[in-house]
Amino acid sequence: MDIFANLLLGLQTSMSPVNLLYALIGCFLGTAIGVLPGLGPAATIAMLLPATFAMPPVTALIMLAGIFYGAQYGGSTTAILVNLPGETSSVVTALDGHQMARQGKAGRALATAALASFFAGTVCTLLIALFAPPLAEVALKFGPAEYFSLMVLGLIASIVLAHGSILHALGMIVLGLLLGLIGTDVNSGLQRYTFDLPELSDGIGFVIVAMGMFGIGEIVANLQQEASRDVSINEVKGLWPTKEDFRRMVAPTLRGTALGSILGILPGGGAALASFGAYALEKKVSKNRSEFGKGAIEGVAAPESANNAGAQMSFIPMLTLGIPANPVMALMIGAMIIQGIQPGPSVMTEQPALFWGLIVSMWIGNLMLLVLNLPLIGMWVKMITIPYRYLFPMIIVFCAIGVFSLNNAHFDVYLMALFGVIGYVFKKLDCEPAPLLLGFILGPMMEEFLRRALLLSKGDPLVLLTRPISAGMLALALVLLALVLLPSFSVTREEAFQEE
């Protein structure tokens, strides 16, 4: 079968010494980022984008992917040991994981998190290998109208699943779309929104916006919010679940993997939404629901399997459709564009080694994380004690060097600092930067596909409604938009994010 030949190609690609080394680097960095509260994989990937210029495309993507799913592992370590989630997706893990640690079961909780995550990662690697090719074949039949409608649907879905006010999320998307229009118009050759600054004639670099919003902006916000970290658990024993633990964690792990696999594909979804959903589901169906919040192992297995499944399944729309499901996938698309690769279904046919090498590397990375995490618990605990005020100067210098290296231009560094200030202001106003980044990435692509559709239809905008697939996606986008405007949905949504 083709699937086995493709997986063999992916294995050969991902098992090369260079790719294995960078997969290990990505997994290690991701775990470290997950352990350190406040930084996150989005900021880290944004800072490392300039470093990927000199790498082969597949090597760069393997490393960046390792950072993403490695952060899901690392976030659970601090959540369990010190009740301080390194990642948003690990918030619910802290509820029962830290209680287990206080009862002397820290080793069993950490092992449960690692095993559940590894199982989910293995299953999702197989699911991606099975479902990505047929989805890419369907996407190859898309025309410009369908692609435009698909991107509209993705942006509307990101509004539904963004934090905070719906109006804020909508405003951020519009601002992102407008920022994406800055530069020289491809058709007319005229400059727009450049304010007569020659440095803006080619538009604003994706790396500059990403580093400013997610790097500098997050650093300033974290400095203001830094809390003391009381590491009371310095030694972890018994790094293996008991037979009873295994019996109780099987069903929650399966349910968490299934739920995370579904939610991970949704635009704006991913690991955080999957982990919260899996915990809520487990509280309703578990026979031991009275133990939740008091150290139930189900409360660790379900969200940990779900967040890893959600993180990996978000690669499907990114690889097959060129549509980012979350900010990290938007950054991955940016990395592909930087490498001269057009994201979308053509990647599988034009770059099969990259496509399948990245998929197989996910399973290898999950195996590396399983081997890395438990023996290095002592080192991760020491990292938690590093005050953030010692880390941020190095991060800022690294950001400045990375941005300057893009074009050797001081203007880019100043622009990054400006976006850092804007990112901090948006954070204070409870405006999440993720929708802005999605709009910034998709804006130029949406404009290009809309122009192509109108050109082919001789200027008739009804082409978006007369083509069945395009009309169906626009209708779904309208339904989602109407849903979020319902007062009852808005109240439920706000309550969910307040719990987070």
Residue entry with tokens 């991701």? 30
Look at 163-167, 297-301, 426-430 and tell me which has the smallest mean pLDDT.
163-167
Partners of 192 in the beta sheet?
183
pLDDT at residue 384, rounded to an integer: 67
Cα separation of 9 and 235, whole Å? 43
Nearest to 166 by CA among 446, 483, 498: 483
pLDDT at residue 228, rounded to an integer: 45
H or E segment and range at residue 325: none
Instruction: Please report which confidence band the pLDDT of residue 496 belongs to, taking 50, 70 and 90 as the band edges.
Output: very low
Q: How many CA atoms lie within 13 A of 39 on its CB side?
A: 28
Residue 212 CA to chain centroid, in angstroms?
17
Residue 144 CA to chain centroid, in angstroms?
26
The tokens describing 492, both together, are 């439920």
Write out pLDDT tens, residues 400-417: 877 787 778 888 889 988
Nearest to 369 by CA among 169, 17, 43, 76: 76
Say yes or no to pLDDT of 230 above 50.
no
Q: Is the pTM of this model over 0.85?
A: no
pLDDT at residue 497, rounded to an integer: 47
The tokens describing 437, both together, are 């980044």
- The full length of the chain comes to 500
pLDDT at residue 231, rounded to an integer: 47
pLDDT at residue 19, rounded to an integer: 92
Cα separation of 323 and 244, whole Å? 42
Cα separation of 281 and 294, whole Å? 17
pLDDT at residue 229, rounded to an integer: 47
Mean pLDDT of 474-486: 81
Say yes or no to pLDDT of 21 above 90.
yes
CB contact at 8 A, 98 and 135: no
- What is the DSSP annotation of 107-137? HHHHHHHHHHHHHHHHHHHHHHHHHHHHHHH
Alpha-carbon separation of residue 202 from 50, 51, 205, 404, 408 (angstroms)? 18, 21, 8, 16, 15
Mean pLDDT score of the chain: 79
Cα separation of 3 and 46, whole Å? 33
The tokens describing 391, both together, are 């880390």
Say yes or no to pLDDT of 312 above 50.
yes
Mean pLDDT of 363-391: 75
The tokens describing 167, both together, are 């109006």
Q: How many helices (H) and strands (E) does the chain have?
A: 24, 2
Residue entry with tokens 């369990």? 80
Instruction: Please report which confidence band the pLDDT of residue 224 belongs to, taking 50, 70 and 90 as the band edges.
Output: low
CB contact at 8 A, 381 and 81: yes
33 burial (CB, 10 Å; 0-12 / 13-18 / 19+) is buried
Look at 118-122, 133-137, 175-179, 437-441 and tell me which has the smallest mean pLDDT.
133-137
Say yes or no to pLDDT of 390 above 80.
no
CB contact at 8 A, 380 and 35: yes
CB contact at 8 A, 453 and 145: yes
Q: Can you give the residue ranges of every domain in the chain? A: 2-499
Say yes or no to pLDDT of 248 above 80.
yes
The tokens describing 314, both together, are 């978000």
CA-based diameter of the chain, in Å? 71
Nearest to 308 by CA among 343, 257, 234, 266: 257
The tokens describing 345, both together, are 């279904």
Cα separation of 139 and 135, whole Å? 6
Instruction: Please report which confidence band the pLDDT of residue 237 belongs to, taking 50, 70 and 90 as the band edges.
Output: low
Mean pLDDT of 240-246: 80
Mean pLDDT of 446-475: 87
Write out pLDDT tens, residues 53-95: 788 889 988 998 888 878 777 777 777 776 666 566 677 788 8
Q: What are phi and psi of 205, to 5 degrees?
A: -65, 140
The tokens describing 64, both together, are 């960046």
pLDDT at residue 489, rounded to an integer: 52
Write out pLDDT tens, residues 144-192: 888 888 888 877 876 765 666 778 888 888 898 898 888 888 777 788 8
Cα separation of 98 and 293, whole Å? 9
